[in-house]
Structure 1
Amino acid sequence: MTTALRYSLLDEPLIGVRLADARRVHLSLPALFVALAEDGIRDFPALRPHQRHPWHAFLVQLAAIALHQAGRSEPFATQDEWKSALLALTPGDPDGAAWCLIAPPDRPALMQAPVPEGNLSDWKNTLQTPDELDMLVTSKNHDLKAARMKCSEPEDWLMALISLQTQEGFLGAGNYGISRMNGGFASRPAVGAMPVGGWGTRWARDVRRLLASRTEIVSRLELCEQSGVALVWLRPWNGADSLAFSALDPFYIEICRRIRLIETAEGISALATGSKAARIEAKSRNGVTGDVWMPVETAVGKALTISSKGFDYKLTSELLFGQKYRAPIAQTLTNEDGKQGIVMLARGVTRRKGKTEGYHERRVPISPKVRALMIKKSTDKLAKLAEGRVSDISKMRKVLWKALATLFANGTSAFNDNDSVTDKASRFAKAFEQGEDARFFEGRLGLNDQIEAEDPEAVRLAWYLDMAERAEDILRNAFEAGPRSGEQRYRARAAALGRFHGGLRKEFPTLAEYRDNDR
């Protein structure tokens, strides 16, 4: 039986959006590009948090590929123009099969490579719901319930398919990961600037950045300036061969798994089978592939991989101001980004062997002075201020931890070999560091306040005072978890407070001097 073409993104309104005026409608892919160019999209209601970057990257890369092939630098104005440009990318499939969610197995379907043998009879792994297909690995249903999207729509399969094919890693024999990450158990984090506006403003901005950086990416990575493989899913794949990295277009959109969507009496489902090799041979690249949102660790030439801490204040300040990582193209500010309201957006899923360890997202407002220094590429002063704050938080945490350990050791200093005491102290000290992490960049007395202030040292001192007060509050709140019996309780509390204030005098002499003068 011949499989019919179903669910064409070029012609059918399959993508649910909420418009800027809050109306909810469904659009085809060409109509979506027109709406994005007009900045008319508020959000995508069906999009799950971990799918946000893969979806944004797909839309940006696809638009940039189409515009480059058409010899344009600005988006098309009409749906018909976008449809023609997208069809021009798939000349072997003029009927639009490559833009359908379901097509005959021997032909490409969206993000699904043609099957050379022409049938799926040997594909035994059936996935009934989009979240089964997606890249998340959950722990015994504790993180997210598995296979819960029973009443799904075609767009749910679309989002899951793009998420899997563009950010999945290695997951056992036959299940290889993408090229745009540093190893099979790594991740595909993304860092980029977000100017004032909606989804469309950021989309248009990143499309321009891609087009402007094409020559640079080609030169640095020795990719194909013309006639390279841009839409990897167009090439037949038997699961045994790999595409050479040098054969790719600099904006390439990849796939990593052999997946085909099919339609049954119950609706859409997916068939999957393994492969004997990765789709793209890029292991030696260590994730350095020209991904315009990917920071690269310069000393070792490897793409960033985030830990379970995600984008904590230490990593984020290093990514924004330090020298350890080469900033991705999407992170680099230009005058076109405006002067106010710019935000640095970092996103990523932490992956480990056989599991995922959380979705992480952080937004850092860029103040006017920070913006000016970033555009000038003169961030040494910012890096020094950030490093100082990181060091000061570490010192305050150390002071607090020792005071907490003294409390839980009944007022003595014999706690180094007592795991129970050190674990308790670490749990309470963690709350302090999490609080400082949350307000590191913004809010009252945050790094932005210090950078923008006429008297930065006054802000720094006020922050010291506030930080010390927060730390002491945590210590006093821990009294209830310390010794409870008569004399031992008072001795432990007094010793802990003494240890805390003594530590402040040693580690923060300017704070101690201010307090003495204030008295």
Structure 2
Amino acid sequence: MDLLDVCLVSTQSDRYSLPGLLAALSRNQVEAFPRLRPHQRPAWHMFLVQLGALALARASADTPPDDEGTWRDLLLRLTDGDATAWALTAPDDRAAFLQPAAPPGLKWTRVETPDALDMLITSKNHDLKQAVARHAAPEDWVFALVSLQTMEGYGGAGNQGIARMNGGSSSRPMLGFAPTQPGGGGPDVSAWWRRDVLRLLALRKAGKDTVHGTPGGPALIWTLPWPEGRKLALHDLDPWFIESCRRIRLIQDGDRLAALRTTSKDARIDAKEAKGVTGDPWAPVSMDGNPRSLTLGDGDFTYARLCELLFEGGWKRPPLADPGQGDAAGVIVAEAFARGNSKTEGFKSRIVPVPGWARRRFGQPDLGALAKDQIAEIEIFDKALRNGLALVAAGGDRDKLNKDHYARARDARDRFDRAADALFFEALWDRSAAQGDEREAARRRFLTQLFHAARDAFDLALPGMPCAAILRPRAEARGRQAFESAVRRGHGHGGGTRFDFLFTTEGRHDDDAA
């Protein structure tokens, strides 16, 4: 079970040892990890990037080697020649892979499957069933260890969370820019890894990788002694340190693996005051005078939130989400757990395609301004939809409108928001690329799409609005009039009749004109 020499990790075409995997990534031969669960992807990518960058920086190397032997030597150098630190099982007084050496006298609990060890906690065990991987392979334990030890939050007394999040009920987000697979699609696994490793090395060479920490300091936390009650100082660690937040030991049980886990009195790293600002190159950091890393909470990566994170709307874009000169077309990858108190609200993932020319505009202030314009335009239609449907629910009587009537429009507004979300970024790139009159034409295209989406949501919701039958003709007529009137005048946002074109033949599709 030695990751240095045994081929435990499977890809789309072969199985590799850990050094062999890093070499295959360097040769651009890895396309997928078939046994990797979707929620484990950010942890696995960040682990491999941090590991590769640490190994190369420790050896003062600039380029990832493409042979397994060199990578084996680089990894051994990180553990001062201790090969046991790369094994899945070892005596309790020795460090094993992502398993700190255990002091004597601890009380252990047995864990039978890797998915029961993994960090995932779901409401009533519905989203993703736990403890079902009875026929797990060793690599399933590897993925579970990486997920748990580098992403987990506070799980109750003695179950401490990682340093790279703003509190135990927060998230470790990943916001990055990734090259795409040949022919388009999602991230290119090998190219993404190589791009991020080289970017980190460039940041260190330029002296821009330090927020807290000491470049060249301790980095593989599982290799360090862990006496009970003693914390590591954040400023002593390498900024790219790889965490190990829980006391875990894998054991051999016949022809299969199992795990033992126990608690710790204190967090492994003294980082509470940092509020997640640890130099994590994938984590957005607030710029409001109270520095902290992003907490996803019970939300999602909506267009509005992504615009805040990408275009510095109160958040500093992380360095690995910043398209550079060597980047062509790619995708923005935004992933995190929406976490609550000792539970998760689900794994959230958003992939946003970015054309090659658009990535060059990320540093331009007008891109953020255009994004704000589009968000304001969406709000116009959202309020028009809300007010029109609420008026129907009130029987067409404006004097009787109350919050319950407005609440009736919630489902329709959610439907419209999903449609606007799907349109948002393609329209933003379209508008950003245009100049002069072409930009106004791009704006009108987006507004026309929003109008049709809002009108469709209105029409679908209309029959379900509660209203006395005798009042319904008046209520529907007044509700539709209120909706269209609000759209025409831009819902009080100025501009006079700037949306009138939506109600002319030129502003409609052919079927509407007919």
TM over 0.5: yes
Alpha-carbon offset, residue 138 of structure 1: 1.0
Instruction: Map residues 123-202 of structure 1 onto 2, 5 A cutoff.
Output: 123-197=107-181, 198-202=188-192
Distance 1:491 1:205, change over 3 A: same
Instruction: Confirm or deny that 1:84 pairs with 2:73.
Output: yes
Instruction: Map residues 90-129 of structure 1 onto 2, 5 A cutoff.
Output: 90-91=79-80, 93=82, 96-117=83-104, 122-129=106-113
Alpha-carbon offset, residue 223 of structure 1: 2.0
Alpha-carbon offset, residue 451 of structure 1: 1.6
Instruction: Map residues 236-251 of structure 1 onto 2, 5 A cutoff.
Output: 236-251=225-240
Instruction: Confirm or deny that 1:423 pairs with 2:407.
Output: yes
Instruction: Confirm or deny that 1:495 pairs with 2:478.
Output: yes
Distance 1:194 1:218, change over 3 A: closer
* Residue 404 (structure 1) aligned to one of 378, 382, 389: 389
- Cα-to-partner distance string for 1:134-189 (whole Å, 9 max, x where unaligned): 11111112211121111111111110110010011111111111111111111011
Residue 269 of structure 1: SS of its match in structure 2?
Answer: strand
Alpha-carbon offset, residue 309 of structure 1: 2.5
Alpha-carbon offset, residue 414 of structure 1: 5.0
Instruction: Confirm or deny that 1:27 pairs with 2:11.
Output: no
Distance 1:483 1:160, change over 3 A: same
- Separation of aligned partners in 2, 1:222 and 1:423: 46
Contact 1:50 1:359 in 2 (8 A): yes
Residue 488 of structure 2: SS of its match in structure 1?
Answer: helix
- Separation of aligned partners in 2, 1:506 and 1:309: 32
* Residue 430 (structure 2) aligned to one of 428, 446, 449: 449
- Separation of aligned partners in 2, 1:217 and 1:245: 18
Alpha-carbon offset, residue 225 of structure 1: 2.9
Instruction: Confirm or deny that 1:287 pairs with 2:276.
Output: yes
- Cα-to-partner distance string for 1:223-257 (whole Å, 9 max, x where unaligned): 2233x111000012133211011221122111111
Residue 244 of structure 2: SS of its match in structure 1?
Answer: coil
Contact 1:405 1:415 in 2 (8 A): no
Residue 137 of structure 1: SS of its match in structure 2?
Answer: coil
Contact 1:215 1:225 in 2 (8 A): no
So what's the TM-score if we normalise by structure 1? 0.91
- Residue 3 of structure 1 is matched in structure 2 by none
- Residue 11 of structure 2 is matched in structure 1 by 17
Provide runs of 4+ in structure 1 moved above 6 Å.
none
Alpha-carbon offset, residue 220 of structure 1: 4.1
For structure 2, the 5+ residue unaligned runs are 182-187, 492-496, 507-512
* Residue 458 (structure 1) aligned to one of 427, 433, 441: 441
Instruction: Confirm or deny that 1:392 pairs with 2:377.
Output: yes
* Residue 473 (structure 1) aligned to one of 456, 463, 467: 456
Alpha-carbon offset, residue 282 of structure 1: 0.8
- Residue 74 of structure 1 is matched in structure 2 by 63
Q: Which has a greater percent of strand?
A: 1
* Residue 213 (structure 2) aligned to one of 205, 213, 223: 223
So what's the TM-score if we normalise by structure 2? 0.91
Contact 2:55 2:78 in 1 (8 A): yes
- Separation of aligned partners in 1, 2:401 and 2:202: 56
Q: What is the identity, as a one-letter code, of the residue corresponding to 2:442?
A: V
Residue 240 of structure 2: SS of its match in structure 1?
Answer: strand
- Residue 499 of structure 2 is matched in structure 1 by 511
- Cα-to-partner distance string for 1:109-147 (whole Å, 9 max, x where unaligned): 000000132xxx743322111111111111112211121
For structure 1, the 5+ residue unaligned runs are 1-6
Alpha-carbon offset, residue 372 of structure 1: 2.3
User: Alpha carbon RMSD of aligned pairs, Å?
Assistant: 2.0
Q: What is the identity, as a one-letter code, of the residue corresponding to 2:77?
A: A
Distance 1:513 1:205, change over 3 A: closer
Deviates more, 1:475-484 or 1:99-108: 475-484
Instruction: Confirm or deny that 1:296 pairs with 2:285.
Output: yes
Distance 1:214 1:268, change over 3 A: same
Contact 1:342 1:366 in 2 (8 A): yes
Alpha-carbon offset, residue 328 of structure 1: 1.2
Alpha-carbon offset, residue 484 of structure 1: 6.8
- Separation of aligned partners in 2, 1:281 and 1:152: 35
Contact 1:344 1:366 in 2 (8 A): yes
- Residue 419 of structure 2 is matched in structure 1 by 435
Alpha-carbon offset, residue 368 of structure 1: 4.1
- Separation of aligned partners in 1, 2:158 and 2:195: 38
Work out the number of aligned pairs and report it.
493
Q: What is the identity, as a one-letter code, of the residue corresponding to 1:11?
A: D
Contact 1:245 1:281 in 2 (8 A): yes
- Separation of aligned partners in 2, 1:474 and 1:162: 43
Instruction: Confirm or deny that 1:65 pairs with 2:65.
Output: no
- Separation of aligned partners in 2, 1:122 and 1:285: 30
- Residue 48 of structure 1 is matched in structure 2 by 37
Residue 191 of structure 1: SS of its match in structure 2?
Answer: strand
